[in-house]
């Protein structure tokens, strides 16, 4: 059985009319997964309620108290914006806490069973820095999950692979200070947020950025995996591999210009399975609903 951590409460993060990071993204994925031939192999799991898990200490280990209070205040004041792209609704703070709990549940599942899991949650997180959210992101889910994993017995090294089409500037800025965490990103460059140059290797040589030019296909991605990603991850020998699984590198995605097909994510997943089965996938971007759903299916299908 393949665990998918999901709650309909994640739909309550209301980004407003016309915003690309919308609840319909999750609806499309859930509907598609319920219709696949192997739907009976999916183990749907609810995230641990925040009333039953103290998630704030894990968030406070990554984000400043001032920023956390800003998100809470905006939500409790009726909603507003962190920046032009990043809305906060009345329920967004609570749902962002639940999303963090889901990512922590994912870490627990993967480490306990030594098999992959998928966190189907929103809001996303890889653009959120320690001091502010941006680019649709509130809390840095992947960085929080990595830091949490290092507190578990026998976990000494964690790697984060970010295949979202946009560079995870927040994740990198947070984890590059920790030599026990490695970060690798393939992203369209130049593109939002303008970071992620190949020369940026992190404070401990624990960062690998692979800028991809517009129009890149699976041929270029496969070459990047073979020549750079897999050697980098193999050298690290991570006890857990977290994937910031954004699916906006699809050719149909409206926010970028990379030319992957949904089935290509199966190819990338097979590469990662050659490193470890301790794989935690967590949803980041992806804004063409059909391509997004098909890509998640391709990812999970390879793990069965």
pTM score of the predicted model: 0.98
Digit-coded pLDDT (tens) for 96-109? 999 999 999 999 99
Mean pLDDT of 196-224: 97
* Count of beta carbons in the 10 Å neighbourhood of residue 183: 28
Q: Which two tokens stand for residue 115?
A: 């098999």
* Count of beta carbons in the 10 Å neighbourhood of residue 294: 21
Digit-coded pLDDT (tens) for 108-122? 999 999 999 999 999
Q: Which domains does the chain have, with CATH numbers?
A: 2-303 (3.40.800.20)
Encode 253-279: b = buried (16+ Cβ within 10 Å), e = exposed: bebbebbbbbebbbbbbebbeebbebb
> What value does the mean pLDDT of the chain take?
98
Tell me phi and psi for residue 117, to 5 degrees. Answer: -145, 160
Per-residue confidence at 223, pLDDT binned at 50, 70, 90?
very high
The three-state secondary structure class of 22 is coil
Interaxial angle between packed helices 24-35 and 289-303, expressed in degrees from 0 to 180 and rounded to the nearest 10 = 50
Share of the chain above pLDDT 90, in %: 100
Q: Which two tokens stand for residue 276?
A: 């470890």
Digit-coded pLDDT (tens) for 245-277? 999 999 999 999 999 999 999 999 999 999 999
Distances (CA, A) of 164 to 36, 58, 115, 253, 288: 24, 24, 22, 12, 13
Share of the chain above pLDDT 70, in %: 100
Distances (CA, A) of 86 to 124, 195, 263: 11, 18, 30
Q: How far apart are CA 28 and CA 35, in angstroms?
A: 11
The three-state secondary structure class of 21 is coil
Where in the sequence numbering do the catalytic residues fall? 127
Q: Which two tokens stand for residue 224?
A: 């990047």
Q: How far apart are CA 223 and CA 219, in angstroms?
A: 6
Q: What is the pLDDT of residue 111?
A: 98
* Count of beta carbons in the 10 Å neighbourhood of residue 287: 23
Q: Which residues contact 53 (CB under 8 A, 6 or more apart)?
A: 101, 104
Q: How far apart are CA 82 and CA 68, in angstroms?
A: 12
* Count of beta carbons in the 10 Å neighbourhood of residue 205: 10
């Amino acid at each position: 059985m393949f665990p998918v951590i999901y709650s309909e409460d994640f739909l309550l993060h209301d980004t407003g009319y016309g915003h690309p990071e919308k609840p319909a993204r999750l609806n499309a994925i859930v509907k598609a997964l319920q219709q696949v031939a192997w739907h009976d192999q999916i183990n749907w799991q609810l995230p641990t309620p925040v009333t039953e898990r103290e998630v704030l200490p894990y968030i406070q280990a990554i984000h400043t108290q001032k920023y956390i209070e800003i998100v809470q205040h905006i939500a409790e004041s009726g909603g507003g914006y962190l920046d032009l792209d990043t809305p906060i609704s009345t329920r967004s703070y609570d749902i962002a806490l639940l999303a963090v709990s889901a990512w922590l549940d994912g870490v627990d599942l993967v480490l306990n069973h030594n098999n992959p899991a998928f966190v189907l949650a929103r809001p996303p997180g890889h653009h959120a820095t320690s001091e502010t959210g941006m680019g649709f992101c509130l809390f840095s889910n992947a960085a929080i999950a990595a830091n949490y994993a290092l507190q578990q017995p026998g976990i000494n090294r964690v790697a984060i692979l970010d295949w979202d089409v946009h560079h995870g500037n927040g994740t990198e800025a947070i984890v590059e200070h920790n030599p026990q965490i490695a970060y690798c990103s393939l992203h369209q460059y130049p593109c939002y947020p303008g970071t992620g140059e190949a020369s940026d290797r992190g404070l401990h040589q624990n960062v690998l950025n692979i800028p991809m030019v517009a129009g890149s296909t699976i041929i270029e991605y496969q070459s990047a995996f073979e020549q750079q990603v897999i050697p980098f991850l193999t050298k690290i020998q991570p006890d857990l591999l977290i994937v910031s699984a954004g699916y906006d590198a699809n050719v149909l995605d409206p926010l970028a210009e990379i030319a992957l097909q949904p089935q290509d994510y199966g190819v990338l997943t097979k590469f990662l399975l050659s490193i470890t089965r301790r794989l935690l996938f967590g949803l980041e971007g992806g804004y063409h609903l059909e391509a997004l759903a098909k890509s998640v299916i391709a990812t999970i299908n390879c793990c069965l």
